[in-house]
Structure 1
Amino acid sequence: MSWYDLARGLHILAVIAWMAGLLFLPRLYAYDVEQNGKAEPLRSEMQGLLRLWQARLLGIILGPAMGAAWVFGLWLLWLRSGNGADWSFAHQPWMIAKLVGVVALSAWHGFLAGERKRIVAGASTRSGRFWRMTNEVPFLIAIVMVVSVTTEWAFG
C-alpha cells in the first residue's frame, strides 16, 4: 500500500460524505420553507424538526466531511508533487478545473450555512422552488471535477 493510495481513498470517502450533505441540505430547506403556509401547531413542530436535522447535518456531517476532504486533498497534492519537488501538474487545465470546483463547492457550502442562519431568523427570501432547482448544483460541479481528474485532459 502506498501513501498516495491511502490519501486518495480517504479523500474519496470524505468527498462522498460531503456531497451527500450538500445534496440533502437544500431539500431540507425546501421542506422548511414550504411549512410557512401550513397551520399551527403542526407547522412549528415540523419546522423545529427540520431545523434540528439541518443543524445536525451541517455540524456533524458537512463541516467535518469538508474539512477532511480539504486535508486529504492537500495531502494528495503534496504526494503528487513528490513531497513538494515538482508542482508542474498544478498548472494543467484538468487540475485548474478541479481546484476551481473545490472552491465552488466550498463557496456553496458557505452559502448553505449562511442561508440556514437566515431561515432560522425568518429573513430568508428563497422559495422551495429555488432550493429544488439549485439542489443539483454540487453534483454538476462534481461531474466536471471527477472527469477532469480521471482523464487529466488538456488543450491541444
Structure 2
Amino acid sequence: MFDLLSYAYPWIKALHIVSVISWMAALFYLPRLFVHHVEQAGASGPMHDTFSMMEYKLAQVIMRPAMMATWLFGLALVLTPGLVDWTMIWPWTKGASVIAMTIFHVWLKKQVETVKQGESRVTGRQFRLLNEVPTLLMIVIVFSVVVKF
C-alpha cells in the first residue's frame, strides 16, 4: 500500500490542494453570508429563505465534501513514506491547525441551522471577526508546511 502512495504522490498532493482551496473558499464565504443574513434579511421572509438556502447548500454541497476530501488526501499524504518527519514541529502545528479548522467548520455548520431558525445570538460584527479564524489558521498551516520549522 505504501508503494502505491509513493507512486500516486503527485496526484494525491494535487487533489489535496484542490480540496483545500474548495474548503477554504467555503469557510471564507459562509461567515460573510451570515453577516448579510443577520444584518439585512432578518429572521423571516423571502430574503431570509434565500439566505438560508444558500448557506445550507454551501455548507452541505461544497464545504462538507471539500473538508472530507481534504482530510482523506491529507491522511494519504501523511501515510506516504518519507514525507513527514515527526521529530520536527511543523507536522504538529499543521495537524493542530487542521483540527482547529475542522472545529470551526463544525461550529459554522451548526450556525446554518441556528441562523435559519432565527435563534442566532451572533451579530454581524461578530461574524465578521470570526471570518478571520480560517485566515489565521491557514497562515499557520501554510508556513508550517512550506517553511517546515
Q: Unmatched 5+ residue regions in structure 1? A: none
- Correspondence for 2:48: 47
Answer with 129-138 or 101-110: which moved more: 129-138
- Correspondence for 1:109: 105
Give identity over the alignment, percent: 35
- Correspondence for 1:25: 30
Q: Which amino acid aligns with 1:54?
A: E
Cα offset for 1:81? 4.6
**Contact (CA 8 Å) 1:14, 1:66: kept in 2 or not?**
yes
TM-score w.r.t. the length of structure 1 is 0.86
Secondary structure of 1:90's counterpart equals: coil
Secondary structure of 1:125's counterpart equals: coil
Count of aligned pairs between the two proteins: 144
Q: Which amino acid aligns with 1:103?
A: I
CA distance in structure 1 between the aligned counterparts of 2:103 and 2:81, rounded to whole angstroms: 25
Equivalent positions of 1:1-156 (< 5 A) are 2-35=7-40, 44-81=45-82, 89-153=85-149
CA distance in structure 1 between the aligned counterparts of 2:54 and 2:87, rounded to whole angstroms: 40
Q: Which amino acid aligns with 1:79?
A: T
Secondary structure of 2:80's counterpart equals: helix
Q: Which amino acid aligns with 1:34?
A: E
RMSD of aligned alpha carbons: 1.9
CA distance in structure 2 between the aligned counterparts of 1:80 and 1:6, rounded to whole angstroms: 15
Answer with 25-34 or 90-99: which moved more: 90-99
**Contact (CA 8 Å) 1:4, 1:80: kept in 2 or not?**
no
TM-score w.r.t. the length of structure 2 is 0.89
CA distance in structure 1 between the aligned counterparts of 2:120 and 2:146, rounded to whole angstroms: 39
Q: Which amino acid aligns with 2:71?
A: W
Question: Structure 1 runs of 4+ off > 3 angstroms?
Answer: none
CA distance in structure 2 between the aligned counterparts of 1:126 and 1:71, rounded to whole angstroms: 32
CA distance in structure 2 between the aligned counterparts of 1:60 and 1:27, rounded to whole angstroms: 17
CA distance in structure 2 between the aligned counterparts of 1:37 and 1:9, rounded to whole angstroms: 41
CA distance in structure 1 between the aligned counterparts of 2:111 and 2:81, rounded to whole angstroms: 36
